Amino acid sequence: MLYTLILMLSMNFPVVESELPNGLDVIIGEDHSSPIVTVCIVVNTGGTCESPESNGLAHFYEHMFFKGNVALPDQTAYNSRMRELGMIRNGTTGREVVRYYLTVSSDLFDEGLEFMYDAITGPLFDPEEIVNERSVIMNEYERKTNHPFWNLWRMQEEVLSIEKWRSSSIGVPEVIMAADQEIMLMFQEKYYTPDNSALIITGDVDAETIMPAVTELFSQWEYGGRSDYFSLGLNISIEKDTIVNVGGPEGMGMIRIVFVGPSMANQQNWTYAADVWGQYMGRMTGEFHNDLVANGPFLDVYASYYSQRFEPSITFGGTIDPELIDQGLEMMHEEILNMFREGYFTESGIEMASEQLRRERLFREESSRDMATETFPFWWVEGGGLEYYNNYPDSLAAVTAGDISLYLDRWVKDKPTAVFIITPEGEWVE
């Protein structure tokens, strides 16, 4: 059965959503401001679907995506086709989402769509290409180890994750170097199915005109029904107060205080208050900023909720002179306690935070390509469809000071924390 739902008429461009009989969500946004079209496939998978034996292979799969396929087996011909189409393309693998996207001139939409269809449905996973790609990914891994926050990322996986391999998308060298065709096919069979994916198209197209071609082509993608994505468990736990001192770059001190947050999988009702709260705390004229930055030792601070299904977190953090870490940590704790004071959250401040979130949305909508490659994929996965994103403004507008207090009582008050101190002399260095 095919149904169509009009979405988000308040946006800069109209968006329609449909579902094909094989379960594929199709989201089309019409933006005629520029003669290009972007096609994105988003899949409910990522590092969180891995085991110790497959740690890093969701990301490996992404590397194999823009390789030869059944329609274009030869890699040289494949690259040549991309040049013919003037295609700008990329793919990313996160903990909870994988996306692939390409942009072409709108007069080449049919060709771009077909290219994406062949890539998602007919990868070859040529064994020789897989062996080559192991070295490519190892270089990517080695580059990451130079990142100033590599030690912090690694330590966060150790401290916060129930199963640490589900937190690391890049994976571990021994698994990367053992990747083979068999495990790629296993990932494909389990997760790369239409009922576990969405096709997002934005740009200079007319939804009604292109829908028949989209339906005809992508209806051939075989229904799977084998994904376990939505049955995976939470992968964050902080049982007791923990503090770790991690090695970081010269001259920089950082503090991160982390709490477990509400999951986008089954605790969405908490998330609206969480987002308004984060925005409230981020105001440059708010108490949090005034006390810690304007009149305190921090160079910058933030307090935020990260909308995730499996590793949702609430973080208070900031950058500070490494010499002032102890003072900063004490002050940050005081500010957290301060939030529970009567009258800390004012209605005018909450109104401003909600208005900021509305404006943020307008800024994000400036580029329909960014919508196709970032905003829609993120919310489609985390919200379990676009309904969450669609209803988001109304839900935010309904948040009150009382809701924020309830949220803080439930998720922050007297809850165990994981504290990460990052200093040049940090004790923990991988």
Residue numbers at the binding site for other proteins (CB under 8 A): 12, 31, 33-36, 75-76, 79-80, 82-88, 103-105, 131-140, 142-143, 145-148, 249-252, 283-286, 289, 293-294, 299-300, 319, 321, 352, 355-356, 359-360, 362-363, 365-370
Q: What are residue 100's DSSP bridge partners?
A: 41, 91
Residue placing its CB nearer to other proteins in the complex, 409 or 425: 425
We find the least distance from the C-beta atom of residue 226 to other proteins, in angstroms, to be 31
Closest by CA to 316, choosing from 349, 289, 296, is 289
We find the least distance from the C-beta atom of residue 110 to other proteins, in angstroms, to be 15
We find the least distance from the C-beta atom of residue 353 to other proteins, in angstroms, to be 9
Give the separation between CA 316 and CA 59, rounded to whole angstroms.
29
Residue placing its CB nearer to other proteins in the complex, 1 or 9: 9
Cα separations in angstroms, 33 against 12, 106, 203, 204, 382: 10, 11, 8, 7, 29
Residue placing its CB nearer to other proteins in the complex, 86 or 225: 86
We find the least distance from the C-beta atom of residue 171 to other proteins, in angstroms, to be 14
Give the separation between CA 58 and CA 173, rounded to whole angstroms.
14
Cα separations in angstroms, 267 against 166, 271, 303, 401: 21, 7, 20, 19
We find the least distance from the C-beta atom of residue 327 to other proteins, in angstroms, to be 15
We find the least distance from the C-beta atom of residue 283 to other proteins, in angstroms, to be 5
How are strands ordered across the β-sheet holding 3-7?
3-7, 15-19, 25-30, 197-203, 36-43, 98-105, 88-93
Question: How do strand 313-320 and strand 298-306 relate by DSSP bridges?
Answer: antiparallel
We find the least distance from the C-beta atom of residue 207 to other proteins, in angstroms, to be 18
Residue placing its CB nearer to other proteins in the complex, 301 or 339: 301
Residue placing its CB nearer to other proteins in the complex, 146 or 231: 146
Give the separation between CA 282 and CA 277, rounded to whole angstroms.
9
We find the least distance from the C-beta atom of residue 222 to other proteins, in angstroms, to be 30
Cα separations in angstroms, 53 against 28, 35, 188: 38, 45, 17
Give the separation between CA 247 and CA 252, rounded to whole angstroms.
10
Residue placing its CB nearer to other proteins in the complex, 158 or 321: 321
Give the separation between CA 214 and CA 371, rounded to whole angstroms.
19
Residue placing its CB nearer to other proteins in the complex, 173 or 385: 173
The gap from C-alpha 33 to its chain's centroid, in whole angstroms, comes to 27
We find the least distance from the C-beta atom of residue 416 to other proteins, in angstroms, to be 30
Residue placing its CB nearer to other proteins in the complex, 138 or 337: 138
Residue 27 contacts residue 11 (beta carbons within 8 Å): no
Residue placing its CB nearer to other proteins in the complex, 89 or 166: 89
SS3 185: helix
